[in-house]
Structure formats: C-alpha cells, structure tokens
Amino acid sequence: MTDGLDQALANAGLALLVADTSLVVCDGVVPAGTQPPYALVYTTVNRPSEDPDNAADGLSRVWSAAWIVHSVGGNAAAARAVAQRVRTALLDIRPVISGMSCNRIRMDPDSPPPQRDESTGVVVMDLVQTYRLKATN
C-alpha cells in the first residue's frame, strides 16, 4: 500500500502545465505524430535522508520533486517561447497538496541554451530546464 504522495507531487507540476490549454504537455513520452512546439516533462520524486527538515524521530518527512522540462520548438526562438510559458506556469507557485506543506517551485539557475536535436528525424531545438519543489508532511 502506498500513500500516493509521490504521484500527487508529480501531478502537481503537470497540472500547472496543462492548465495552459494551448501548451502541448507530454508526460515522459512524445506520442507519435506530435509536432513542435511542445513540452516534454520527466518527473522525479526523492526523499532526501539528510534534509534538516526531517523529523527528530529519524523518520523521513521531506519530499523533493523535480520536473525536467524539454521545451521543444522548430527553432531556437520557438523553444524559448515554450520555455517561457513553462516558467510562467511553474516558477514561484506554491502547489496545494493534501497532507503536505509545500514550498514554492524554484528553477535551477543554470540552464543551457537551446540545443539542436535530430534524434527524431526532424530537426528541432530543445531547451532543457529543471524546476524543483520541496514539501514536508
């Protein structure tokens, strides 16, 4: 039996992104036939054991969620435009998750510039940014 909190954390970021109804958001896989622009999102959830906010009783009470977002466009400007929409949807938002106290979502500071990607057979530009959330219960 699980508490469902890992999935709730993952869903919190995804829900913020899909709320922008004109942004195509792909959760971990790009469906066949999807054309840029879109945001491909990989989510990780961790339980950092040495976090100072863990309980004095030794139990883990901290979750760390990360959304690694590939903002994909047909050219560099289009990739930056997707990245800006992603940033607007996530940055500084404090999600509400039942049973948890959430900090604001933050963006890792050093994102590389858009990279040319030809792995799908179609030339696109891919701009990768990571957003993080710390939550406790």
* Segment 71-87, tens digit of pLDDT: 999 999 999 999 999 99
CA gap 14, 4 in Å, rounded: 15
| For range 27-42, the mean pLDDT | 95
pLDDT band at 4 (very low <50, low <70, confident <90, very high): confident
Please name the helix (run of DSSP H) or strand (run of DSSP E) that holds residue 11, with its range, or none.
helix 5-18
The residue that leads in pLDDT, 135 or 54, is 135
> What percentage of the chain's residues is helix, strand, coil (to nearest 5)?
20, 30, 45
Per-residue pLDDT at 1 exceeds 70: no
Flag the least confident range among 60-69, 93-102, 126-135. Answer: 60-69
Q: Which amino acid is at 111?
A: S
Q: Give the domain CATH number at 104.
A: 3.30.2000.30
C-alpha dihedral, 136 to 8 to 50 to 130, nearest 10°: -110
The residue that leads in pLDDT, 37 or 2, is 37
HSE of 37, CA atoms in CB hemisphere, 13 A: 18
Per-residue pLDDT at 15 exceeds 90: yes
> What sign results for the dihedral spanned by CA atoms 60, 104, 15, 17?
negative
Per-residue pLDDT at 106 exceeds 90: yes
Bridge-based pairing state of the strands 101-102 and 106-107: unpaired
Boundaries of domain holding 81: 5-136
pTM of the model: 0.90
Number of structural domains in the chain: 1
Average of per-residue pLDDT values in the chain: 90
Identify whether the C-beta of residue 63 lies closer than 8 Å to the C-beta of residue 136.
yes
The residue that leads in pLDDT, 51 or 18, is 18
Burial 72-105 (b: 16+ CB within 10 A, else e): bbeeeebbbebbebbbebbeebebebeebebeeb
